[in-house]
Amino acid sequence: MSDPIEVLHTGQLDIPTEIRLARPPRSPRPNVDPEAATDIMRGLRASVETVRGIGPKMVESLANLNVHTIEDMLALLPRRYDDYTRLTSISRLVPTQNTTVIATVRRSELKAIKSKRKDLWVEFYDGTGTLHVTFFGQHYLSRTFQPSTQFVLHGRVTAFRGQPQMTNPEWEQIDPENLRQIGIVPIYPLTEGISGRTMRRLMRDTVTYWAERLPDYMPVTVLERTDLADLGWAIKNLHFPEGHDHLAHARNRYVFDELLLMQLSILATRREWQSTPAEPLPVDDGFMDEFIASVFPYSLTTAQQRAIADIRHDAAKPIPMNRLLQGDVGSGKTAVAISAMILAFANGKQAALMAPTGILAEQHYRSISRQLEATPGDRKPHVALLTSALSAADKRAVIAGLADGSIDIVIGTHAVIEEGVTFQNLGLAVIDEQHRFGVQQRGRLRGKGLNPHVLVMTATPIPRTLALTLFADLDLTVLDEMPPGRTPIDTYIIPDVKRERMYRFVEEQLEQGRQAFIVHPLVEASETIEAASAVEEYERLSQVFYRYRVGLLHGKMRPAEKDDIMGAFSHGEIDVLVTTSVAEVGVDVPNANVIIIEGANRFGLAQLHQFRGRVGRGQHKSTCFLVPDADTPESEARLKALTETTDGFKLAEIDWQQRGACDLIGTRQSGRSKLQLLHAMVPHLVDMAQREARTLFEEDPYLTLPEHRLLAERVAMLYDPEIDVS
Ligand code: ADP
Ligand code: MG
């Protein structure tokens, strides 16, 4: 986690020294009338147009930043902060570092390159040294960079013959206000039509106004237990921190609020949908034992048995189950899903299983329908597949069968519960590999008069506390045990010099009839660039493995193309599959026993673990090669963890400690789309927010006590788009 506060380098400036603050100050809560307080709070929903100095033009510009209301504006956090309190000089600039500098223009010069382009070259100084800056093709800036004017420059420092340089840095003319009033200056995301200076002025006005007036909705008892800052103070210091400690306290409060409000809202939603009853699906032990003994050719692991017991317990109640089954790749989630679906069948109800892709649905369909043939008793479940690949006639037949109840179990993609599909009586739905079965999907089912029991399954290991927060509406079961007889995957870190040896190893495996994955992922690039670079890599590897059939799978391909390639790989018509992401390769290819992961240092451990899980699915000994494209001691230590453990949860835990929650949950949509500061979701804050959410929910589930009233309003405001100020 990098410190977002930039340390500036400059000569002497008259700037206040830093103030330390061990604990956030707490002011006594003023006595406000709750009605009035609610009104003020709802004022956050007002358009930014109500802010003095913001006209229609500016409203448009702000909309580009997704800022429409006062609330959005307060939530627009600085990209970084420039710290004027910790200054050094140009003479101490370190090449290759991103740095912010305050310096004065000495002279500038236009340099014509060839015929067309004119570059602007500017020499800056700060009393300790000179810095040369080139603005490529930006000759028009020459009027701005007048001698003797002072600027803040931000960019990467390079050195040319010992002379520090910057190219196309971000720049801003010095605002003497910033120097006099505060030491740490927020740098906001900008868009056309708003300068940094204007944005800061607008923010300062808005923040000052609201920080003073906004009532703190957090119950005092919560703040006392958690030792967090007051709301107004936190808002002020989040935007215009008085010091580093202040900023840290402000952030803690902000992240805590996001986490707590999210959970309270999720818990409320859960309570809401649980208020509509579901059909109870009880079965007796005799039936279940016989079913399991006849259908599965192995005995279930203790973890699988426990999961099935949890599900039976939930589904036997007239309250809709909403359970998350977390289990590493290969932990045997399918057997649990089958056992859950049979609960519906045994009670004369239908069940559905939804997979993220058509090809996965097909794979599930094949194996599940085969296994269910062994269902004890005379009536076997009628299992059908429903994907977009079906012919129109087949599709019609399945849809009819679901409507009249002749199909018991349907396996397909998400479309199963959507377009024009009606069920005679859907008792239970399983969602595989879906991070979240959203409120929307539930709403859609409800619209069809259905409120089935829902089991969500995921192979993404998320540490328990984090999972409990993000999925507060789900009960959690973890498959923490692997079926016996797995040979662990050998994992090696491969420096570039050993690349040839690695390829030779892969060839040996291919020679013996095995198959290989080569993951060539790119991060932070557009999909188009990613595709292009994957094609390049594919061509290179086609030469390396010229004696074998090499295939390519990337995100830019059409779904049908992807399915073709994936199909060819799983049928053994392709030996080496070069791919850009794992999302595409959720399919089981037991004959593939080698995986190479390029650029491994760029990924979270949990993600790498997912990649690795593509192999080790058959009886052949499997190998995973991690090839970093840069080696820092930090990334080496991280990758080493992968060579030492195959426990996905342990890896996720390490990830969380080291890199924050970003990697683990990625860009997952939360109830509120703008869950910011993921990197600040450190374990102790998540723990704290969870504890407080549960305490509040237990004490006062409807938040009706007077001291919780504002909090209830705040939750409703954040998550209910219906509430408006007008
Ligand atoms: P995942 O959790 O990744 O969905 P699967 O359900 O696909 O895992 O199971 C992976 C493999 O393990 C399958 O081939 C399955 O037949 C096998 N399997 C599942 N449970 C057991 C068990 N208890 N004992 C032995 N093999 C099992
Ligand atoms: Mg699976």
Average pLDDT score over residue span 535-560: 90
pLDDT at 623: 96
pTM comes to 0.69
Average pLDDT score over residue span 299-316: 97
Average pLDDT score over residue span 240-259: 90
Q: Which ligand is nearest to the CA of 479?
A: 1
336 in contact with ligand 1, CB cutoff 6 A:
no
Rounded to the nearest integer, the mean pLDDT of the chain is 84
Can you state the angle between helices 709-719 and 34-42, rounded to 10 degrees?
20
Per-residue pLDDT reduced to its tens digit, 147-203: 988 888 888 888 888 889 999 888 888 766 666 555 688 889 888 888 888 898 899
Q: Identify the residue whose C-alpha is closest to ligand 1 atom 4.
A: 333
333 in contact with ligand 1, CB cutoff 6 A:
yes
Q: What angle do CA 199, 206, 24 make, to 5 degrees?
A: 105
Residues in the chain: 726
C-alpha distances in angstroms, 271 versus 426, 472, 702? 21, 11, 10
pLDDT at 86: 64
Residue 655, number of CB atoms within 10 A of its CB: 26
Q: Identify the residue whose C-alpha is closest to ligand 1 atom 22.
A: 483
How do beta strands 117-125 and 98-113 pair?
Answer: antiparallel
Q: Buried b / exposed e across 88-119, counting CB within 10 Å, b at 16+?
A: bbbeebeeeeebbbbbbbeebeeeeeeeeebb
State the pLDDT confidence band at 569, using cuts at 50, 70 and 90: very high
Atom of ligand 1 nearest to the CA of 613: 3
Strand partners of residue 458: 326
| % of the chain with per-residue pLDDT over 70 | 87
State the pLDDT confidence band at 358, using cuts at 50, 70 and 90: confident
593, 576 Cβ separation under 8 angstroms = no
590 in contact with ligand 1, CB cutoff 6 A:
no
pLDDT at 492: 95
| Model confidence at 466: pLDDT above 70 | yes
pLDDT at 669: 33
Atom of ligand 1 nearest to the CA of 331: 2
d(C-alpha 210, C-alpha 232), whole Å: 7
Which segment of 590-599, 660-669, 674-683 scores lowest on mean pLDDT?
660-669
Atom of ligand 1 nearest to the CA of 327: 2
Which of 334, 366, 620 should be mutated for ligand 1, with most atoms under 8 A from CB?
A: 334
d(C-alpha 683, C-alpha 656), whole Å: 8
Q: Which ligand is nearest to the CA of 331?
A: 1
Structure token pair of residue 124: 């800056």
Q: Which residue has the higher pLDDT, 373 or 139?
A: 373
State the burial class of residue 387 (Cβ atoms within 10 Å of its Cβ: 0-12, 13-18, 19+): buried
pLDDT at 339: 98
pLDDT at 667: 37
Average pLDDT score over residue span 316-334: 90
State the pLDDT confidence band at 114, using cuts at 50, 70 and 90: low
Per-residue pLDDT reduced to its tens digit, 291-301: 999 999 999 99
State the pLDDT confidence band at 585, using cuts at 50, 70 and 90: low
State the pLDDT confidence band at 37, using cuts at 50, 70 and 90: very high
pLDDT at 181: 52
Q: Which residue has the higher pLDDT, 303 or 194?
A: 303
Average pLDDT score over residue span 295-323: 95
Q: What angle do CA 500, 506, 508 make, to 5 degrees?
A: 105
Average pLDDT score over residue span 645-651: 83
Q: Which residue has the higher pLDDT, 310 or 610?
A: 310
pLDDT at 195: 83
Q: Identify the residue whose C-alpha is closest to ligand 1 atom 18.
A: 332
| Model confidence at 225: pLDDT above 90 | yes
Q: Identify the residue whose C-alpha is closest to ligand 1 atom 15.
A: 332
| Model confidence at 132: pLDDT above 90 | yes
| Model confidence at 659: pLDDT above 80 | no
C-alpha distances in angstroms, 438 versus 58, 443, 464? 35, 9, 20
Sheet holding 550-553, edge to edge: 490-493, 623-627, 592-598, 515-519, 576-579, 550-553
